[in-house]
């Protein structure tokens, strides 16, 4: 046995416990850091070859392990821009140098330019809706821009499409053959079974434009009960409400140039299911807009008339708030209650999150051991859900860290005693010469 060897073994033991104490110190210091993931020290032996009855003491070496894949507790806050991930994945953020990195720290707030920035100064990245619904780039960070929630002034969006769905009463009577009794004729009277619905759309300046929809049954091939496949037909006529007649008992005649602004027919089979396309465009000569209406959601059953629907577009309204849903879509919420998507926040993940490279600011970068970064939208491909108004806390177990600190202290002291004992033995050897 080598006395010097035992002393070196004791030194390696003290170094190992010092490393362990360092990870404990880091964990305790970051016990309240948003999204922080605990680190720990693992030990492995260093064995030297021995021969005969002599044993050569080796030592111990340490390596640091990260608990990145362990979920921290989620607590709720009063800020809608605080974000937490429930499940797998990381936010994609960028620092001052513009390099994208990963983080679980979602304590984002608006900076002076309106960008969402966390407490470490990293900007949240997302895909913009400026060119329509975004598509994710699964193997890179191309197309990502800083999420900016500054939405000042008024915003108006013209209506270009809409839908209308409901039920047309199958017991309604067929309109008389005389064309003058149909709403499309813009006559002074309509049949008693004609049903009227109204819908509000928006012009380019955000002004409301109301349209009146008239539904009239015009044909039934066979009286009920009809065999399968026998069709019933309804005429749909659409007018500008602002051009309705003033006074009298009906809104007819409308004064819109050219009469109605939309006209078509809906055909149903004997089971009340629509067998026509249901597409009827509104061509408004006053606003100059074409609104493609989808009426394919109507049925013809033995029940009361019912209808509901809405066009797209938006009245001129200021932004009141910004909301973020579980799919990562950032909405501007306007004073009139309407919403508009601005960005969609993706999440990224790697095959081995615990092997990511830890960097200052509680961010991570991928490396050869972690695997390549894969990007996707929340709740797809195994990625977690984004929770707005919430933060993920540190996953550090404070009681466990204090216990480890005591163990490390005791082990360090024991190793120092081995070193001291070896030193005492060396003193004895030196004194033998005297």
What is the biggest distance separating any 2 CA atoms in the chain, rounded to whole angstroms?
136
Query: How far is residue 322's CA from residue 372's CA, in Å, rounded to a whole number?
Result: 33
**How far is CA 238 from each of CA 57, 80, 191, 277, rounded to the nearest angstrom?**
94, 42, 16, 17
85 near 74, Cβ under 8 Å? no
Grouping H, G, I as helix, E, B as strand and the rest as coil, residue 191 is coil
DSSP assignment, residue 274? B
Q: Is the dihedral of CA 185, 189, 190, 196 positive or negative?
A: positive
Q: What are the extents of the domains in the chain? A: 3-70+395-432, 74-154+318-392, 159-312
Q: Which of 312, 374, 387 is nearest to 347 (CA)?
A: 374
Q: What is the pLDDT of residue 224?
A: 56
Grouping H, G, I as helix, E, B as strand and the rest as coil, residue 332 is strand
Q: What is the pLDDT of residue 182?
A: 84
Query: How far is residue 67's CA from residue 358's CA, in Å, rounded to a whole number?
Result: 11
Torsions phi, psi of 15, nearest 5?
A: -60, -40
The residue behind tokens 């929770």 is 387
Grouping H, G, I as helix, E, B as strand and the rest as coil, residue 11 is helix
Bridge partners for 54 per DSSP: 51
Domain 159-312: homologous superfamily in CATH: Flagellar hook protein FlgE (2.60.98.20)
Q: What is the pLDDT of residue 168?
A: 93
| Length in residues, the chain | 434
**How far is CA 16 from each of CA 11, 63, 368, rounded to the nearest angstrom?**
9, 9, 26
User: Can you give the pTM of this predicted structure?
Assistant: 0.67
Q: What is the pLDDT of residue 114?
A: 86
Helix (H) or strand (E) holding 414: helix 398-432
Q: Which of 37, 34, 2, 41 is nearest to 19 (CA)?
A: 41
DSSP assignment, residue 6? H
Q: Alpha-carbon Rg of the chain, whole angstroms?
A: 36
Query: How far is residue 273's CA from residue 140's CA, in Å, rounded to a whole number?
Result: 46
179 near 187, Cβ under 8 Å? no
Residue 276 burial by Cβ neighbours in a 10 Å radius (0-12, 13-18, 19+): middle
Torsions phi, psi of 352, nearest 5?
A: -130, 85
Query: How far is residue 209's CA from residue 231's CA, in Å, rounded to a whole number?
Result: 34
Q: Which of 343, 347, 341 is nearest to 378 (CA)?
A: 347
In this structure, what token pair is assigned to residue 37?
């993931």
261 half-sphere exposure, CB direction, 13 A CA radius: 27
Taking the CA atoms of residue 88, residue 91, residue 97 and residue 98 in that order, the dihedral angle to the nearest 10 degrees is 110
Tens-of-pLDDT digits for all 434 residues of the chain?
578 888 888 899 999 999 999 999 999 999 999 999 999 999 988 887 777 677 778 889 899 999 999 999 999 999 989 999 999 999 999 988 889 999 999 999 988 888 999 999 999 999 998 888 888 888 889 999 999 888 766 778 899 999 999 999 988 888 776 666 788 888 766 677 888 999 999 999 989 999 999 999 988 766 555 555 557 899 999 999 999 887 767 788 888 877 899 999 999 988 889 999 999 999 999 999 999 999 999 999 988 999 999 898 888 877 778 889 988 999 888 877 778 889 999 999 999 999 999 999 999 999 999 999 999 999 998 999 999 999 999 999 999 999 999 999 999 999 999 888 888 888 888 888 66
Torsions phi, psi of 242, nearest 5?
A: -65, -20
Q: What secondary structure does DSSP assign to 52-90, as a single string?
A: TTB----EEEEEEEE-TTSPPPEEE-S-TTBEEEESS-E
């Amino acid at each position: 046995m080598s006395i010097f060897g035992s002393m070196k073994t004791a030194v390696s033991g003290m170094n190992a416990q010092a490393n362990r104490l360092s990870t404990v110190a880091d964990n305790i210091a970051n016990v309240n850091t948003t999204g922080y993931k605990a680190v720990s020290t693992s030990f492995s032996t260093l064995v030297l070859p021995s021969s005969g009855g002599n044993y050569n003491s080796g030592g111990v070496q340490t390596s640091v392990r990260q608990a990145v894949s362990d979920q921290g507790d989620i607590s709720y806050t009063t800020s809608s821009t605080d974000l937490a991930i429930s499940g797998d994945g990381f936010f994609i953020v960028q620092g001052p140098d513009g390099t994208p990195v990963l983080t679980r720290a979602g304590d984002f707030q608006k900076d002076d330019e309106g960008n969402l920035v966390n407490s470490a100064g990293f900007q949240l990245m997302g895909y913009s809706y400026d060119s329509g619904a975004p598509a994710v780039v699964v193997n890179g960070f191309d197309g990502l821009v800083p999420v900016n929630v500054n939405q000042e002034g008024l915003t108006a969006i013209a209506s270009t499409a809409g839908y209308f769905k409901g039920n047309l009463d199958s017991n309604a009577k067929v309109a008389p053959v005389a064309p003058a009794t149909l709403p499309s004729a813009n006559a002074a009277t309509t049949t008693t079974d004609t049903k009227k619905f109204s819908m509000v759309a928006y012009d380019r300046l955000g002004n409301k434009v109301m349209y009146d929809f008239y539904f009239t049954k015009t044909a039934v091939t066979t009286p009920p009960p009809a065999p399968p496949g026998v069709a019933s037909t309804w005429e749909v006529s659409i007018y500008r409400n602002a051009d309705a007649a003033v006074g009298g008992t009906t809104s007819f005649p409308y004064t819109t140039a050219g009469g109605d602004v939309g006209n078509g027919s809906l055909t149903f089979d004997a089971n009340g299911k629509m067998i026509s396309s249901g597409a009827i465009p509104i061509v408004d000569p006053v606003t100059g807009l074409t609104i493609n209406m989808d009426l394919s959601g109507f049925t013809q059953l033995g029940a009361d008339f019912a209808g509901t629907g809405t066009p797209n577009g938006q009245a001129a309204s200021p932004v009141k708030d910004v909301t973020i849903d579980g799919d990562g879509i950032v909405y501007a919420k306007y004073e009139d209650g309407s919403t508009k998507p601005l960005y969609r926040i993706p999440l990224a993940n790697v095959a081995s999150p615990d092997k990511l490279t830890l960097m200052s600011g509680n961010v991570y970068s991928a490396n050869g051991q972690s695997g390549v970064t894969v990007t996707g939208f929340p709740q797809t491909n195994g990625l977690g859900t984004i929770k707005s108004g919430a933060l993920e806390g540190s996953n550090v177990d404070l009681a466990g860290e204090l216990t480890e600190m005591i163990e490390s202290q005791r082990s360090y002291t024991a190793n120092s005693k081995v070193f001291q004992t070896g030193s005492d033995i060396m003193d004895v050897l030196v004194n033998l010469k005297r």
